[in-house]
Amino acid sequence: MNQPIIGFRLDDVGDWVAILACGHGQHVRHDPPLTFRAWVLTPQGRNEKIGWTLNCVRCDRGELPTEKPMESIETITTDRLIAERFRPEHYDLLCHIHRNPAVMATLGGVRSDETTRQNLQDYIAHWETHGFGLWLLRDRASGALAGRAGLKWIEVGGAMEIELGYTFLPEYWGRGLATEIAQASLEVGFERLGLDNLVCFTLTTNLASKRVMEKVGFVFAREVVHTGEATLLYRLTRDEYRQRRGA
């Protein structure tokens, strides 16, 4: 029975074990028997991302779950932020972000409410498919809306990548919050999900975002064209991340 992979861990001898949604763990090699398709055409005619699955032989044998549940990443906190998985009730808050010209200046411009509705559906579907995704961000002190951030699959530079992204309302600029949520996202991606590498990208003119990427350890990879714009693509591997942390 095929099961979604919700994370990875290392066993006692350093081999990777995939943690499946059913609660079983299954060893995988460097060339694992995984099923991955970046896109699928739905009956409605639009492309949806789907994720990694693995045939669970233990489910086939009727065995009980063996893995401890992963610590939830649906809601995480930092010193100054609360990050919560996007849900249908966040529509009005996401509209507030997407209607702001200053926020959206480097993200393709303001978005219609209907586009935002579709974006929200995509964010929710990403969580359901991959077990991670974008969070809505709130000010931890006041509970006020601060922005959005997180990890998501995206096509950039001609390849499917997992992007670390962050967007804040103007009143939260210049406080170091992008660095704060980026560092928390890296910990989730590399330590909890066991991802091999992550990318960040921004317009060549967005120097503030470029500084954040470099501050948390991302290394410039190359310049690409993304949505018709000259874009700086940065990458960070799990090994590089751990070296920076002294692990």
Partnered with residue 160 across adjacent β-strands are 155
Query: DSSP letter at 49?
Result: -
pLDDT at 12: 66
Report, as an integer, the average pLDDT of 60-71.
67
pLDDT of 172-203, one tens digit each? 999 999 999 999 999 999 988 888 899 999 99
Taking the C-alpha atoms of residue 52 and residue 41, their distance in angstroms, rounded to an integer, is 17
Distances in Å between the Cα of 124 and the Cα atoms of 94, 128, 138, 195, 220 are 13, 6, 18, 20, 30
The verdict on 13 and 90 lying in the same domain is: no
The verdict on 234 and 135 lying in the same domain is: yes
Write down the mean pLDDT value for the chain: 85
> What H or E segment, with its residue span, contains residue 150?
strand 145-156
Tokens matching residue 132? 């991670």
SS3 string, 129-146, reads HHCCCEEEEEECCCCCEE
Taking the C-alpha atoms of residue 89 and residue 86, their distance in angstroms, rounded to an integer, is 8
Q: Is residue 66 assigned to a domain? A: no
Partnered with residue 234 across adjacent β-strands are 200, 220
Strand, coil or helix: 33: coil
Residue 113: band (very low, low, confident or very high) from pLDDT cuts 50, 70, 90: very high
Q: Is residue 173 assigned to a domain? A: yes
pLDDT at 96: 97
The CATH number of whichever domain residue 167 belongs to comes to 3.40.630.30
pLDDT of 19-56, one tens digit each? 776 777 777 654 444 444 443 333 333 333 345 677 78
Residue 212: band (very low, low, confident or very high) from pLDDT cuts 50, 70, 90: very high
The verdict on 83 and 146 lying in the same domain is: yes
Distances in Å between the Cα of 43 and the Cα atoms of 46, 70, 114 are 8, 33, 20
pLDDT of 73-85, one tens digit each? 999 999 999 999 9
The verdict on 56 and 84 lying in the same domain is: no
Taking the C-alpha atoms of residue 98 and residue 206, their distance in angstroms, rounded to an integer, is 18
Structural domains counted in the chain: 2
The verdict on 129 and 206 lying in the same domain is: yes
Percent composition of the chain: helix, strand, coil (DSSP 3-state, to 5) = 30, 35, 35
Q: Is residue 182 assigned to a domain? A: yes
Tell me the residue range of the domain where 10 lies.
Answer: 2-60
- State pTM to two decimals: 0.74
pLDDT of 9-20, one tens digit each? 666 666 667 777
B/e letters for 170-208, b = 16+ CB within 10 Å, e = fewer, are eebeeeebbebbbebbbebbbebbbbeebbbbbbeebee
